[in-house]
Structure 1
């Protein structure tokens, strides 16, 4: 009876939640303005920190009604403000919430609200606009659609510290192109924002500084103008130098250094200017140490936790910062950045999204062309992950001519680089087309393949066997590769099966042999090699179940009934005593081995 009650109970709870959300929306339509106001206030309290409630209200149509009330001249200033606050809270939910708000034309409505004389309402609209615009899913171009918006925002900068903070934050997030820089510059951004650098509010100073960093980025006109700007009688460049002092917050130091760097690159400040050079040399060294420490910390945090990796990549501009770190002048920063990237690359989701969106493979490939071994090891480890089957970066990396580079890594004196080179090739060969496999074999060469199969490092040997196993999959590929390199591969298999190697190495080798046995013509290389057949018989009787299973799988492929010449192969193997061994293995205590032996025996009985 209890089971029968379970479903209705769940439905009633869900209905109760939906009914509560519906009640909030219904109250927005009450004819009594005071009840509407109280309804909006109650809704505000209900959605704080509750993403599920936010989503419910959006689905139930709260947004259009809130926007209607916000735009009505007949609504009281308090009601309009509370509507803006609720909309801002809804915007702090998921990216889907933001998309829904933008689709409901929230941006034009809020921008229109900025024309109201009421400062508290203006601040609420700006706070909501700030939240919407800092989301990566909001098209920043919407800020520039109406040419009257930017000058009006400039005029609002003097109203309060809150308007200064929100507007400068909107500008810094929505300045993405040279055209955006020009629009802001032409409407007096420099003159209006410069005084905010000495605001008593840290948030205002910081947002103003970020504005200057995006305005000056690769922009000669802005940089040349900045160099002559005075802030309370002090040159702007000196203000930036002061903001880089060690007693300032790290974020401020780094952003101020960025502004000075952009001005130097544009030629606005001489690179030998002593007051800047000495400060940059000292503080940029400190900044490098800070960036290195930050990247290391992120790498450590994200190494084993998927949720943390997701939070790191979703942090504003974080992927851009990590990617830019790969080309830093400081080797230590480059190493820390690639460590961070390697940590994040352990996530399937991030490989499919952030890594693809930011084309991470490009700077990574550039880094691999010329770097110290310690950087190469970490960069090549990351590349291994980018070459996994499900990674969208795999195709463009292949097209960039990476095979030759990876083959060269397999010849390194460093065991770690040899492992990574062969590991990346192994990942590349997984379910690859024939053209890629042939190119890998051609570039690597059979001599190098043999050297890797006798490598003193067991990890190199295992990954080389993994590469061979991936190359020798799909019958046409098996036959094509074995027709060209069969003699050498069979020699390598023989040496490993006869040598002193671990169970794992021998199991992998027997699996390769089983793949060869699955080829149409390649299987003849085994059937005509009595010494190899005796080795397979030996391993079918081995004390280790993994080796028995792999060897039995090989025989199963050789005697499969549906293939040409199966009767002759069955007869030969019967004469060599394989049927007796198979019959014995059908009684094995291991169920997998027993089932495999029974399957093979059925080929004889069919």
Structure 2
């Protein structure tokens, strides 16, 4: 035993000394840049400097940033430019410099937008494109690989497919025997093809046929082609029909076969291609076996430790989003359990976490069974933990998942979500630095605060009300709209005391301002908030009569001037609820809707009763029901006025309305009117 302990002693210092030595031998960044910038440095030293630079920055964002600050990219691009235009006899030496320079440029661009931006600003793109026609195959390879890395970034310029010379160039890439060049062509398509016109142009030029042929090529060609096909086919049924139709669906069968390929990325890309087809043309791929296979393959790919594992949950999300049949299938295949098992393991990459929560959100968007299952598997625990994650994308995805599981009426009623353990982190996200996180948090809150079976004081005590009011004043219209939406739901069916507390924080002037917001969707939510405010006891209605009827006046002005149906509907329902109150309230609505004596301008309610939108007709008829209630003391006077202005005749025109709601309200209102006689002299 002493011998063993003694033997282990010298080993550690030796290892430490070796590490120190290797660090000391690594070139200092400033020295590297100096060697690359010098015009007198021999060829061998310059090539070595390029290799050293490449080795230092590969996979190291910190190093890339350091060298960017030192001006490495313009320096390397200058070397590349000089080498490609040089007429020196030592072509072999120059080719080595070109290859190493292109590799360095590609390394800077790989997964690093700041690097891509620097590469583009330095003018590298055109130089690299010229390398594709270079006589040395190794140079062509280096140029194509670097260009592919650049085109993987959103910052890369879009390729204009409508220019003849560009389409010819693209076809020449796809026709090339070099797999890196054909892969580049496919990458250009994946990056740039975004519109239906571009998809059609590529299809008409024969690009789809070229890509189908490449599915039988090398691994690089297969994967690049699958990715490009997904871009060309996405949401375009016309182009998809051209893809699946020829030769009895040969191309489609090839893609289906590739879902069983031995390479994980090929399987993933084949699945994504099939998902694109099914999303645009649901009539295809209806076979239960294929649908089940897609779900199971994507689940299996989640276990991949690399990029495939990170992308698989996004593909799963795309497959099941909005499709109840596939959500049921996924539930039957225990997808929720398997996704939760991955969350249980922990130490997942941020992108993978984001994808898993989005997939869970889609699974829980419609089916109560899925929500119940997720909650039973510590779903809230996972979500709460993710809401404090360093990644904004993960935080947003967790909120989206919470929003969907909180659609469960049963769990809302049980107060499952109205707990400090959920509310505290959720409310904190309202102050998040990411707008997308704030919007996602507001979406979850909007659902949770509908919780009408329990007190909403927990949310208010956590500071939620104050934050919602602050966000309702945001310069960002999306934040304003979602904040007001949450306030609208918060005030839904609460008692008078709670309404007063909310109104005290929100203030009448803020509500008035929101009703007059420049954005129609904010106006709609603000009017819906007022609708909920005056829904309930007669005491609630007093709030719109405060401050000289300012709130009620604002509502009627908006009804008279707005053009969007949703705004008008919510405004009319405010009046409907006010008209359900006492005589003072009914008369106020009557005077607002019919402010002039007969012969004056026609009331807006005529327009609504004649509207093509059944929702507007319903709201208008319902207001008339409340105004003509026979038990109210002033009903006879109001009915008389309604007869004079022609409203009763208009009601008769819609008693057989095709919309059942309109028909019911119209007949109810007309029946109440008739209790005071038929209006005959």
Q: What residue in structure 2 maps to residue 588 of structure 1?
A: none
Work out whether 1:20 is the aligned partner of 2:31.
yes
Q: What residue in structure 2 maps to residue 41 of structure 1?
A: 51
Q: 1:73 to 1:286 in 2, by over 3 A?
A: same
Contact 2:74 2:122 in 1 (8 A): yes
Q: 1:234 to 1:446 in 2, by over 3 A?
A: closer
List alignment gaps of at least 5 residues for structure 2: 1-23, 301-315, 317-334, 473-483, 509-681
In the TM superposition, 1:58-207 aligns within 5 A as: 58-71=68-81, 72-74=84-86, 76-92=94-110, 94-136=112-154, 138-141=155-158, 148-157=165-174, 158-199=176-217, 201-207=218-224
Shift of 1:194: 0.6
Q: 1:17 to 1:365 in 2, by over 3 A?
A: same
Q: What is the total number of aligned residue pairs between the two structures?
A: 419
SS at match of 1:411: coil
Shift of 1:345: 3.8
List alignment gaps of at least 5 residues for structure 1: 1-12, 413-417, 450-467, 477-606
Shift of 1:190: 0.8
Q: What residue in structure 1 maps to residue 553 of structure 2?
A: none
Shift of 1:280: 1.8
TM-score (norm 2): 0.49
SS at match of 1:107: helix
Q: What residue in structure 2 maps to residue 235 of structure 1?
A: 250
Q: What residue in structure 2 maps to residue 445 of structure 1?
A: 494
Q: What residue in structure 1 maps to residue 526 of structure 2?
A: none
Shift of 1:205: 2.0
Contact 1:193 1:208 in 2 (8 A): yes
Q: 1:204 to 1:24 in 2, by over 3 A?
A: same
Contact 2:452 2:492 in 1 (8 A): no
Alignment match of 2:239 (pick from 222, 227, 251): 222
- Alpha-carbon distance between aligned partners in 2 of 1:102 and 1:225, rounded to the nearest angstrom: 36
Q: What residue in structure 2 maps to residue 463 of structure 1?
A: none
Deviations 1:221-250 (A, max 9, x none): 2201111345xx9711221232234x7555
Alignment match of 2:388 (pick from 347, 353, 372): 347
Alignment match of 2:453 (pick from 387, 411, 415): 411
- Alpha-carbon distance between aligned partners in 2 of 1:283 and 1:340, rounded to the nearest angstrom: 30
SS at match of 2:147: helix
SS at match of 1:235: helix
SS at match of 1:141: coil
Q: What residue in structure 2 maps to residue 592 of structure 1?
A: none
Contact 1:328 1:334 in 2 (8 A): no
Deviations 1:371-391 (A, max 9, x none): 8859x9689988874542323
Work out whether 1:428 is the aligned partner of 2:501.
no
Q: 1:318 to 1:472 in 2, by over 3 A?
A: same
- Alpha-carbon distance between aligned partners in 2 of 1:334 and 1:102, rounded to the nearest angstrom: 50
Q: 1:213 to 1:395 in 2, by over 3 A?
A: closer
- Alpha-carbon distance between aligned partners in 2 of 1:384 and 1:322, rounded to the nearest angstrom: 22
In the TM superposition, 1:467-478 aligns within 5 A as: none
In the TM superposition, 1:306-325 aligns within 5 A as: 308=348, 310=350, 312=352
Q: What residue in structure 2 maps to residue 492 of structure 1?
A: none
Alignment match of 2:340 (pick from 296, 311, 327): 296
Q: 1:143 to 1:377 in 2, by over 3 A?
A: farther
Considering only aligned residues, what root-mean-square deviation do their CA atoms show, in Å? 5.1
Deviations 1:5-25 (A, max 9, x none): xxxxxxxx9xx9453343343
- Alpha-carbon distance between aligned partners in 1 of 2:213 and 2:168, rounded to the nearest angstrom: 17
Shift of 1:125: 1.5
Shift of 1:219: 0.7
Deviations 1:17-60 (A, max 9, x none): 45334334334x33644543343234334434444443333222
- Alpha-carbon distance between aligned partners in 1 of 2:253 and 2:381, rounded to the nearest angstrom: 34
Q: 1:439 to 1:379 in 2, by over 3 A?
A: closer
Contact 2:215 2:225 in 1 (8 A): yes
SS at match of 1:156: helix
Contact 1:309 1:347 in 2 (8 A): no
